[in-house]
Copies of this chain bind each other. A is one copy, B any other.
Amino acid sequence: MEAAQPLHVLYLIAIIAEAMTAALAAGRREMDWVGVCLLGCVTALGGGSVRDLLLGRYPLSWVEHPSYLLITGGAALATIAIARHMHHLRRVFLFLDAVGLVVFTVIGCNLAAGLGMPVVVVIASGMITGCVGGVLRDILCADIPLLFRAELYATASVVTGGLYVAGQRAGLPHDAVMAAAMVIGLGLRLLALRFGWRMPKFVYTDSLH
């Protein structure tokens, strides 16, 4: 999170957007207000928290900046008030959710690269930051994570992380690499949403366990 100013603004937009989409998921399951608030916090901050746990990086961001808990919990609660107008904003939210995915991914890559991690771990750190919040949301809703079936969601994260790493290794300017990786990853996700692009499915019907 100790990143340049524009990335930090994007981060705040991203955690608010993730908290609000999580609140809608909670509303679809008729959770109570406390559940809405908690699911919002976990979804918005869970990816970064799991990344920090796995990399052993303390304190976690919301321990260092408790305001993130208030912002995401507040955004989730505010969603209850404005939910009746939200279906008009459906496209806005899908867009903000895609922005959140690539912003989280670049922040995660950035952080692991700063710790001197190898390339594969840098990309994994980006994916974990970008995708695990949504996985936790789906687990808490007792669903199979959408990630495993959605339109190029994890793929957009991997592409973003891969471009970040490639740009860094090519010695290109850091901020330009971050911006380009985010724009291309975002474009891929938005095109996938627009045209329904999906990864091929693996269908296996034997009963082996």
Choose among B80, B124, B141, B204 the residue that contacts A83 (Cβ–Cβ < 8 A). B204
CB distance from A16 to the nearest CB of B (A): 16
B residues in contact with A199, CB < 8 Å: 32-35
A3-11, A20-28, A162-170, A181-189 - the one binding chain B: A20-28
A103 CB contacts on chain B under 8 angstroms: none
A59 within 8 A of B: yes
- Among B30, B53, B66, B208, which residue has its beta carbon within 8 angstroms of that of A53? B53
With A32-B198, A118-B66, A124-B69 already in contact, the answer to whether A24 and B206 are too (CB < 8 A) is yes
Q: Is A31 in contact with chain B by the CB < 8 A criterion?
A: yes
Residues of A contacting B: mostly:
helix
Q: Which residue of B lies closest to A28 (CB)?
A: B204
Q: Are B30's CB and A203's CB within 8 A?
A: yes
Residues of chain A from 66 to 104 with CB closer than 8 A to chain B in the complex: 66-67, 69-70, 80, 83, 86-87, 90, 93-94
- Of the residues B54, B87, B203, B208, contact of A49 by C-beta under 8 Å: B54
CA distance A102 to B27 in the complex (A): 27
Sample of 18 further A-B pairs with CB below 8 A, known A33-B202, A135-B140, A140-B148: A24-B204, A27-B203, A28-B204, A32-B202, A33-B199, A33-B201, A34-B155, A35-B145, A38-B154, A54-B60, A55-B58, A63-B121, A67-B120, A87-B206, A87-B208, A94-B208, A139-B140, A140-B145
